[in-house]
Amino acid sequence: MPGSAHFFASCPRGLESVLARELTALAASDVKAVDGGVHFSGALALGYAANLHSRVASRVLWRVGQSRYRTDQDIYDVSRRLDWPAWFSVDRTLRVNVSAIKAPVKSLDFITLRIKDAICDAFRAHNGGRPSIDTHAPDVRVHAFLTASDLTLYLDTSGEPLFKRGYRREAGDAPLRENLAAGMLALSGWTPDVALLDPMCGSGTILCEAAQMAANRAPGIGRAFGFEKFLNFDAQTWDALRNIAYASENNSIKTNIYGSDLRGDALQLARANLEELDLVTKVTLKQANVFEMPPPAPSGIIVTNPPYGVRMEDRDDLAAFYPKLGDALKKNFSGWTAYILSSDMQLAKRIGLAASKRTPLFNGALECRLFEYKLVAGSMRRAKPAPVATPVQD
Protein backbone atom coordinates (compact mmCIF):
# COMPACT_ATOMS: atom_id res chain seq x y z
CA MET A 1 0.00 0.00 0.00
CA PRO A 2 1.56 3.31 -0.97
CA GLY A 3 1.85 6.44 1.13
CA SER A 4 2.87 7.08 4.70
CA ALA A 5 0.42 7.39 7.55
CA HIS A 6 1.01 8.57 11.11
CA PHE A 7 -0.23 6.46 13.98
CA PHE A 8 -0.41 6.57 17.75
CA ALA A 9 -0.61 3.25 19.59
CA SER A 10 -1.75 3.56 23.20
CA CYS A 11 -0.75 1.06 25.90
CA PRO A 12 -0.85 0.61 29.69
CA ARG A 13 1.57 3.12 31.21
CA GLY A 14 4.93 1.51 31.89
CA LEU A 15 4.88 -0.61 28.72
CA GLU A 16 5.80 2.13 26.23
CA SER A 17 9.33 0.80 25.67
CA VAL A 18 8.02 -2.74 25.11
CA LEU A 19 5.51 -1.38 22.59
CA ALA A 20 8.20 0.67 20.83
CA ARG A 21 10.26 -2.54 20.44
CA GLU A 22 7.25 -4.39 19.00
CA LEU A 23 6.58 -1.63 16.47
CA THR A 24 10.24 -1.40 15.48
CA ALA A 25 10.19 -5.16 14.85
CA LEU A 26 7.24 -4.55 12.49
CA ALA A 27 9.45 -2.10 10.55
CA ALA A 28 7.63 1.04 11.74
CA SER A 29 9.39 4.38 11.12
CA ASP A 30 9.67 7.44 13.37
CA VAL A 31 9.00 5.32 16.47
CA LYS A 32 8.73 7.64 19.46
CA ALA A 33 7.57 6.55 22.90
CA VAL A 34 5.70 9.09 25.03
CA ASP A 35 3.68 8.67 28.24
CA GLY A 36 0.87 6.21 27.52
CA GLY A 37 1.85 5.16 24.02
CA VAL A 38 4.05 5.32 20.96
CA HIS A 39 3.94 7.49 17.82
CA PHE A 40 5.01 5.79 14.61
CA SER A 41 4.56 5.99 10.88
CA GLY A 42 4.41 3.76 7.82
CA ALA A 43 1.99 2.49 5.21
CA LEU A 44 -1.65 2.02 6.22
CA ALA A 45 -1.00 -1.72 6.17
CA LEU A 46 1.45 -1.21 9.03
CA GLY A 47 -1.58 -0.19 11.07
CA TYR A 48 -3.16 -3.56 10.21
CA ALA A 49 0.04 -5.36 11.23
CA ALA A 50 0.28 -3.46 14.52
CA ASN A 51 -3.30 -4.44 15.38
CA LEU A 52 -2.64 -8.05 14.46
CA HIS A 53 0.75 -8.50 16.15
CA SER A 54 1.11 -6.10 19.08
CA ARG A 55 0.68 -7.89 22.39
CA VAL A 56 0.81 -4.74 24.54
CA ALA A 57 -0.97 -2.00 22.54
CA SER A 58 -4.47 -0.99 23.70
CA ARG A 59 -5.45 0.76 20.47
CA VAL A 60 -3.86 1.82 17.20
CA LEU A 61 -5.07 5.27 16.10
CA TRP A 62 -4.59 6.67 12.59
CA ARG A 63 -3.95 10.41 12.58
CA VAL A 64 -6.26 12.14 10.09
CA GLY A 65 -5.94 15.76 11.19
CA GLN A 66 -3.80 18.03 13.31
CA SER A 67 -3.97 21.78 13.89
CA ARG A 68 -3.38 24.51 16.39
CA TYR A 69 -6.55 25.90 17.97
CA ARG A 70 -7.65 28.60 20.39
CA THR A 71 -11.42 28.45 20.62
CA ASP A 72 -14.20 25.86 20.56
CA GLN A 73 -15.14 27.23 17.13
CA ASP A 74 -11.60 26.47 15.87
CA ILE A 75 -12.11 22.86 16.95
CA TYR A 76 -15.38 22.70 15.01
CA ASP A 77 -13.82 24.30 11.93
CA VAL A 78 -10.77 21.99 11.86
CA SER A 79 -13.01 18.93 12.28
CA ARG A 80 -15.49 20.16 9.66
CA ARG A 81 -12.79 20.64 7.00
CA LEU A 82 -11.62 17.00 7.12
CA ASP A 83 -12.88 14.66 4.40
CA TRP A 84 -14.79 12.21 6.64
CA PRO A 85 -16.99 10.91 3.76
CA ALA A 86 -13.78 9.70 2.06
CA TRP A 87 -12.96 7.51 5.07
CA PHE A 88 -16.24 5.87 6.04
CA SER A 89 -19.74 5.45 4.72
CA VAL A 90 -22.70 7.43 6.04
CA ASP A 91 -24.31 4.09 7.01
CA ARG A 92 -21.67 3.44 9.64
CA THR A 93 -22.49 4.27 13.25
CA LEU A 94 -20.16 6.70 14.99
CA ARG A 95 -18.76 7.53 18.39
CA VAL A 96 -16.49 10.46 19.26
CA ASN A 97 -14.11 10.37 22.23
CA VAL A 98 -12.20 13.39 23.47
CA SER A 99 -9.28 13.44 25.87
CA ALA A 100 -7.31 16.48 26.90
CA ILE A 101 -4.27 17.65 28.81
CA LYS A 102 -4.27 21.28 29.97
CA ALA A 103 -6.76 22.24 27.24
CA PRO A 104 -8.36 25.66 27.74
CA VAL A 105 -11.88 24.37 27.11
CA LYS A 106 -14.81 24.50 29.51
CA SER A 107 -16.42 21.17 28.82
CA LEU A 108 -15.11 18.04 27.12
CA ASP A 109 -18.71 16.89 26.63
CA PHE A 110 -19.40 20.07 24.68
CA ILE A 111 -16.26 19.58 22.55
CA THR A 112 -17.33 15.99 21.87
CA LEU A 113 -20.68 17.30 20.67
CA ARG A 114 -19.07 19.96 18.45
CA ILE A 115 -16.74 17.43 16.79
CA LYS A 116 -19.69 15.08 16.25
CA ASP A 117 -21.65 17.99 14.71
CA ALA A 118 -18.70 18.87 12.45
CA ILE A 119 -18.43 15.28 11.17
CA CYS A 120 -22.20 15.04 10.60
CA ASP A 121 -22.19 18.44 8.84
CA ALA A 122 -19.38 17.25 6.55
CA PHE A 123 -21.53 14.23 5.60
CA ARG A 124 -24.68 16.38 5.11
CA ALA A 125 -22.79 18.68 2.75
CA HIS A 126 -21.50 15.64 0.88
CA ASN A 127 -24.65 13.59 0.31
CA GLY A 128 -27.45 14.90 2.51
CA GLY A 129 -27.37 12.13 5.13
CA ARG A 130 -25.48 11.84 8.41
CA PRO A 131 -24.13 8.86 10.38
CA SER A 132 -26.06 7.73 13.45
CA ILE A 133 -24.42 7.84 16.85
CA ASP A 134 -23.85 4.63 18.79
CA THR A 135 -21.88 5.10 21.99
CA HIS A 136 -22.03 1.40 22.90
CA ALA A 137 -20.86 -0.56 19.85
CA PRO A 138 -20.06 1.93 17.10
CA ASP A 139 -18.69 0.91 13.70
CA VAL A 140 -16.31 3.88 13.66
CA ARG A 141 -14.61 5.61 16.55
CA VAL A 142 -13.07 9.06 16.26
CA HIS A 143 -10.63 10.13 18.96
CA ALA A 144 -9.72 13.75 19.50
CA PHE A 145 -6.75 14.71 21.63
CA LEU A 146 -6.34 18.26 22.88
CA THR A 147 -3.30 19.86 24.42
CA ALA A 148 -3.10 23.50 25.47
CA SER A 149 -2.59 24.55 21.85
CA ASP A 150 -3.08 21.57 19.50
CA LEU A 151 -5.93 19.42 18.32
CA THR A 152 -5.22 16.00 16.85
CA LEU A 153 -7.96 13.89 15.28
CA TYR A 154 -7.64 10.15 14.87
CA LEU A 155 -9.65 7.33 13.35
CA ASP A 156 -9.43 4.28 15.59
CA THR A 157 -8.16 1.36 13.52
CA SER A 158 -8.68 -1.12 16.37
CA GLY A 159 -12.38 -0.78 17.20
CA GLU A 160 -12.76 -2.82 20.38
CA PRO A 161 -9.63 -2.33 22.52
CA LEU A 162 -6.84 -4.75 21.65
CA PHE A 163 -6.72 -6.42 25.06
CA LYS A 164 -10.01 -8.00 23.99
CA ARG A 165 -8.36 -10.81 22.07
CA GLY A 166 -11.63 -12.72 21.73
CA TYR A 167 -10.63 -15.83 23.71
CA ARG A 168 -11.80 -14.88 27.18
CA ARG A 169 -15.03 -16.68 27.90
CA GLU A 170 -14.68 -16.50 31.66
CA ALA A 171 -13.27 -13.61 33.65
CA GLY A 172 -12.97 -14.68 37.30
CA ASP A 173 -12.07 -12.26 40.12
CA ALA A 174 -9.89 -9.29 39.23
CA PRO A 175 -8.47 -10.65 35.98
CA LEU A 176 -5.53 -8.85 34.45
CA ARG A 177 -5.96 -7.21 31.10
CA GLU A 178 -4.40 -9.37 28.43
CA ASN A 179 -2.00 -6.68 27.21
CA LEU A 180 -0.77 -5.99 30.75
CA ALA A 181 -0.15 -9.73 31.26
CA ALA A 182 1.76 -9.85 27.96
CA GLY A 183 3.73 -6.77 29.04
CA MET A 184 4.70 -8.41 32.36
CA LEU A 185 5.98 -11.42 30.42
CA ALA A 186 7.95 -9.16 28.08
CA LEU A 187 9.48 -7.25 31.01
CA SER A 188 10.45 -10.55 32.67
CA GLY A 189 12.44 -11.47 29.57
CA TRP A 190 10.76 -14.91 29.53
CA THR A 191 11.33 -16.97 26.42
CA PRO A 192 9.49 -20.22 25.65
CA ASP A 193 12.55 -22.39 26.27
CA VAL A 194 12.47 -21.37 29.97
CA ALA A 195 10.08 -22.84 32.56
CA LEU A 196 7.29 -20.42 33.49
CA LEU A 197 5.01 -20.61 36.52
CA ASP A 198 2.05 -18.52 37.61
CA PRO A 199 1.28 -20.00 41.05
CA MET A 200 -1.77 -17.74 41.60
CA CYS A 201 -3.09 -17.93 38.07
CA GLY A 202 -6.79 -17.12 38.61
CA SER A 203 -8.45 -17.20 35.19
CA GLY A 204 -5.06 -17.79 33.58
CA THR A 205 -4.45 -14.55 31.69
CA ILE A 206 -0.66 -14.73 32.07
CA LEU A 207 -0.70 -18.41 31.04
CA CYS A 208 -2.89 -17.71 28.00
CA GLU A 209 -0.60 -14.90 26.85
CA ALA A 210 2.51 -17.05 27.41
CA ALA A 211 1.02 -20.01 25.51
CA GLN A 212 0.21 -17.71 22.56
CA MET A 213 3.75 -16.30 22.63
CA ALA A 214 5.20 -19.82 22.68
CA ALA A 215 3.03 -20.87 19.73
CA ASN A 216 3.94 -17.65 17.89
CA ARG A 217 0.20 -16.95 17.67
CA ALA A 218 -0.64 -13.41 16.52
CA PRO A 219 -2.76 -12.02 19.39
CA GLY A 220 -5.29 -10.42 17.02
CA ILE A 221 -5.78 -13.41 14.73
CA GLY A 222 -9.19 -14.31 16.15
CA ARG A 223 -10.95 -10.94 16.13
CA ALA A 224 -12.32 -8.12 13.98
CA PHE A 225 -10.87 -4.60 13.75
CA GLY A 226 -12.14 -1.07 13.18
CA PHE A 227 -10.13 -0.62 9.96
CA GLU A 228 -12.28 -3.29 8.28
CA LYS A 229 -15.10 -0.71 8.29
CA PHE A 230 -13.13 2.01 6.51
CA LEU A 231 -13.70 2.79 2.82
CA ASN A 232 -9.99 2.39 2.08
CA PHE A 233 -9.93 -1.11 3.66
CA ASP A 234 -7.62 -3.27 1.57
CA ALA A 235 -9.01 -6.78 2.07
CA GLN A 236 -6.32 -8.39 -0.06
CA THR A 237 -3.46 -6.94 1.98
CA TRP A 238 -5.26 -7.87 5.20
CA ASP A 239 -5.83 -11.46 4.04
CA ALA A 240 -2.18 -11.74 3.08
CA LEU A 241 -1.08 -10.50 6.53
CA ARG A 242 -3.38 -12.97 8.27
CA ASN A 243 -2.23 -15.85 6.08
CA ILE A 244 1.41 -15.13 6.88
CA ALA A 245 0.51 -15.01 10.59
CA TYR A 246 -1.33 -18.36 10.38
CA ALA A 247 1.59 -19.94 8.54
CA SER A 248 4.03 -18.68 11.19
CA GLU A 249 2.24 -20.41 14.06
CA ASN A 250 4.14 -23.22 15.70
CA ASN A 251 1.57 -25.27 17.54
CA SER A 252 3.83 -28.27 17.97
CA ILE A 253 6.37 -26.42 20.13
CA LYS A 254 7.17 -28.08 23.46
CA THR A 255 6.41 -25.78 26.37
CA ASN A 256 7.28 -25.62 30.01
CA ILE A 257 4.38 -23.51 31.26
CA TYR A 258 2.75 -24.22 34.62
CA GLY A 259 -0.23 -22.64 36.35
CA SER A 260 -1.75 -23.26 39.75
CA ASP A 261 -4.23 -21.68 42.12
CA LEU A 262 -5.67 -22.45 45.53
CA ARG A 263 -9.16 -22.47 44.09
CA GLY A 264 -10.51 -25.17 41.83
CA ASP A 265 -13.07 -22.82 40.26
CA ALA A 266 -10.27 -20.43 39.24
CA LEU A 267 -8.43 -23.31 37.57
CA GLN A 268 -11.60 -24.24 35.69
CA LEU A 269 -11.72 -20.72 34.28
CA ALA A 270 -8.07 -20.90 33.28
CA ARG A 271 -8.71 -24.24 31.57
CA ALA A 272 -11.78 -22.89 29.72
CA ASN A 273 -9.80 -19.90 28.42
CA LEU A 274 -6.88 -22.08 27.29
CA GLU A 275 -9.34 -24.45 25.60
CA GLU A 276 -10.89 -21.52 23.77
CA LEU A 277 -7.42 -20.74 22.43
CA ASP A 278 -6.87 -24.40 21.60
CA LEU A 279 -3.67 -24.20 23.64
CA VAL A 280 -4.70 -26.15 26.74
CA THR A 281 -2.11 -28.86 26.05
CA LYS A 282 0.66 -26.25 26.31
CA VAL A 283 0.05 -25.56 30.01
CA THR A 284 0.14 -27.87 33.05
CA LEU A 285 -2.57 -26.82 35.49
CA LYS A 286 -2.73 -27.96 39.11
CA GLN A 287 -4.65 -26.97 42.21
CA ALA A 288 -2.07 -26.00 44.83
CA ASN A 289 -1.31 -23.64 47.68
CA VAL A 290 1.63 -21.43 46.74
CA PHE A 291 2.95 -21.71 50.31
CA GLU A 292 3.35 -25.46 50.02
CA MET A 293 3.92 -26.36 46.40
CA PRO A 294 7.21 -27.77 45.13
CA PRO A 295 8.72 -26.04 42.09
CA PRO A 296 7.76 -27.72 38.80
CA ALA A 297 11.34 -27.39 37.44
CA PRO A 298 14.80 -26.77 38.93
CA SER A 299 14.83 -23.20 37.64
CA GLY A 300 12.59 -20.84 35.75
CA ILE A 301 10.57 -17.64 35.91
CA ILE A 302 7.54 -16.88 38.04
CA VAL A 303 5.21 -14.18 36.72
CA THR A 304 2.17 -13.55 38.88
CA ASN A 305 -0.20 -11.07 40.41
CA PRO A 306 -1.16 -12.12 43.93
CA PRO A 307 -4.47 -11.15 45.53
CA TYR A 308 -4.73 -7.52 46.50
CA GLY A 309 -7.14 -5.96 48.94
CA VAL A 310 -9.00 -2.71 48.87
CA ARG A 311 -11.03 -3.16 52.07
CA MET A 312 -9.31 -2.91 55.47
CA GLU A 313 -9.96 -6.53 56.51
CA ASP A 314 -8.48 -7.76 53.22
CA ARG A 315 -5.43 -5.67 53.86
CA ASP A 316 -4.95 -7.30 57.27
CA ASP A 317 -5.18 -10.74 55.65
CA LEU A 318 -2.71 -9.68 53.02
CA ALA A 319 -0.30 -8.30 55.60
CA ALA A 320 0.03 -11.91 56.78
CA PHE A 321 0.01 -13.31 53.22
CA TYR A 322 3.07 -11.52 51.90
CA PRO A 323 5.63 -12.64 54.51
CA LYS A 324 4.43 -16.22 53.99
CA LEU A 325 4.79 -15.82 50.23
CA GLY A 326 8.32 -14.48 50.67
CA ASP A 327 9.24 -17.41 52.94
CA ALA A 328 7.83 -19.97 50.49
CA LEU A 329 9.70 -18.43 47.57
CA LYS A 330 12.94 -18.37 49.57
CA LYS A 331 12.54 -21.91 50.81
CA ASN A 332 11.28 -23.68 47.70
CA PHE A 333 12.22 -21.68 44.64
CA SER A 334 15.94 -21.02 44.74
CA GLY A 335 17.22 -20.87 41.16
CA TRP A 336 14.05 -19.10 40.02
CA THR A 337 13.40 -15.42 39.32
CA ALA A 338 10.01 -14.06 40.38
CA TYR A 339 8.13 -11.11 38.87
CA ILE A 340 5.31 -10.03 41.15
CA LEU A 341 2.82 -7.30 40.32
CA SER A 342 1.55 -5.39 43.33
CA SER A 343 -0.29 -2.14 43.81
CA ASP A 344 0.54 -1.89 47.47
CA MET A 345 4.08 -0.76 48.18
CA GLN A 346 3.71 -1.43 51.95
CA LEU A 347 2.60 -5.00 51.43
CA ALA A 348 5.28 -5.58 48.84
CA LYS A 349 7.86 -4.58 51.45
CA ARG A 350 6.53 -7.19 53.83
CA ILE A 351 7.49 -9.98 51.50
CA GLY A 352 10.89 -9.83 53.21
CA LEU A 353 12.91 -10.22 50.03
CA ALA A 354 15.14 -7.63 48.43
CA ALA A 355 13.82 -6.62 45.03
CA SER A 356 16.50 -6.42 42.34
CA LYS A 357 14.25 -4.31 40.11
CA ARG A 358 10.90 -2.52 40.40
CA THR A 359 9.18 -1.30 37.29
CA PRO A 360 6.21 1.11 37.57
CA LEU A 361 3.19 -0.25 35.70
CA PHE A 362 -0.45 0.75 35.64
CA ASN A 363 -3.27 -1.79 35.93
CA GLY A 364 -5.99 0.53 34.57
CA ALA A 365 -5.84 3.54 36.90
CA LEU A 366 -4.14 1.52 39.65
CA GLU A 367 -0.46 2.31 40.05
CA CYS A 368 1.57 -0.86 40.57
CA ARG A 369 5.13 -2.09 40.60
CA LEU A 370 6.45 -5.19 38.93
CA PHE A 371 8.96 -6.41 41.54
CA GLU A 372 11.81 -8.64 40.41
CA TYR A 373 13.23 -11.09 42.96
CA LYS A 374 16.24 -13.21 42.09
CA LEU A 375 15.76 -16.23 44.30
CA VAL A 376 19.34 -17.30 44.83
CA ALA A 377 19.70 -19.56 47.86
CA GLY A 378 20.95 -17.73 50.95
CA SER A 379 22.13 -14.54 49.27
CA MET A 380 18.92 -12.53 49.19
CA ARG A 381 17.70 -12.49 52.75
CA ARG A 382 17.52 -9.06 54.20
CA ALA A 383 19.90 -8.23 57.04
CA LYS A 384 18.41 -9.05 60.45
CA PRO A 385 16.22 -7.67 61.92
CA ALA A 386 14.20 -8.06 58.75
CA PRO A 387 10.83 -6.63 59.54
CA VAL A 388 8.76 -4.48 57.33
CA ALA A 389 11.09 -1.71 56.74
CA THR A 390 14.22 -1.88 54.61
CA PRO A 391 13.43 1.24 52.62
CA VAL A 392 12.39 0.59 49.08
CA GLN A 393 12.82 3.61 46.85
CA ASP A 394 10.04 3.92 44.32
Q: Is 307 in the site for ligand SAM (CB under 6 A)?
A: yes
Query: Which residues between 345 and 374 bind ligand SAM (CB under 6 A)?
Result: none
Q: Which is nearer to ligand SAM, 160 or 170 (CB)?
A: 170
CA torsion sign, 188 to 192 to 193 to 194?
positive
Question: Looking at this protein, which amino acid is placed at residue 339?
Answer: Y
Min CB(172)–ligand SAM separation in Å: 5
Q: Which is nearer to ligand SAM, 158 or 203 (CB)?
A: 203
Q: Which stretch binds ligand SAM (CB under 6 A): 69-77, 93-101, 304-312, 386-394?
A: 304-312
Q: Is 212 in the site for ligand SAM (CB under 6 A)?
A: no
Q: Which is nearer to ligand SAM, 233 or 291 (CB)?
A: 291
Nearest to 89, CA basis, from 48, 44, 144, 131: 131
Q: Is 211 in the site for ligand SAM (CB under 6 A)?
A: no
Min CB(176)–ligand SAM separation in Å: 4
Helix 178-188 and helix 16-25: axis angle, to 10°? 80
Q: Which is nearer to ligand SAM, 105 or 262 (CB)?
A: 262
Q: Which is nearer to ligand SAM, 83 or 173 (CB)?
A: 173
Q: Is 175 in the site for ligand SAM (CB under 6 A)?
A: yes
Question: Looking at this protein, which amino acid is placed at residue 23?
Answer: L
- Which of 174, 366, 376, 389 binds ligand SAM (CB under 6 A)? It is 174
- Which of 108, 164, 291, 354 binds ligand SAM (CB under 6 A)? It is 291
Q: Which is nearer to ligand SAM, 138 or 199 (CB)?
A: 199
Within a 10 A sphere around the Cβ of 109, how many other Cβ atoms? 9
Pairing of strands 140-146, 150-156: antiparallel
Q: Which is nearer to ligand SAM, 172 or 326 (CB)?
A: 172
Q: How many residues sit in the footprint of ligand SAM (CB under 6 A)?
A: 21
In sequence order, what are the beta bridge partners of 304?
A: 340
Query: Which residues between 38 and 97 bind ligand SAM (CB under 6 A)?
Result: none
**Cα angle 72-75-80, degrees, rounded to a multiple of 5:** 130
Q: Is 34 in the site for ligand SAM (CB under 6 A)?
A: no
Q: Which is nearer to ligand SAM, 46 or 184 (CB)?
A: 184
CB-closest chain residue to ligand SAM: 202
- Which of 290, 303, 338, 368 binds ligand SAM (CB under 6 A)? It is 290
Q: Which stretch binds ligand SAM (CB under 6 A): 4-12, 106-114, 151-159, 256-264?
A: 256-264
Q: Is 287 in the site for ligand SAM (CB under 6 A)?
A: no
- Which of 138, 202, 259, 296 binds ligand SAM (CB under 6 A)? It is 202
Contacting positions for ligand SAM (CB under 6 A): 172-176, 199-200, 202-203, 205-206, 261-263, 266, 289-291, 305-307
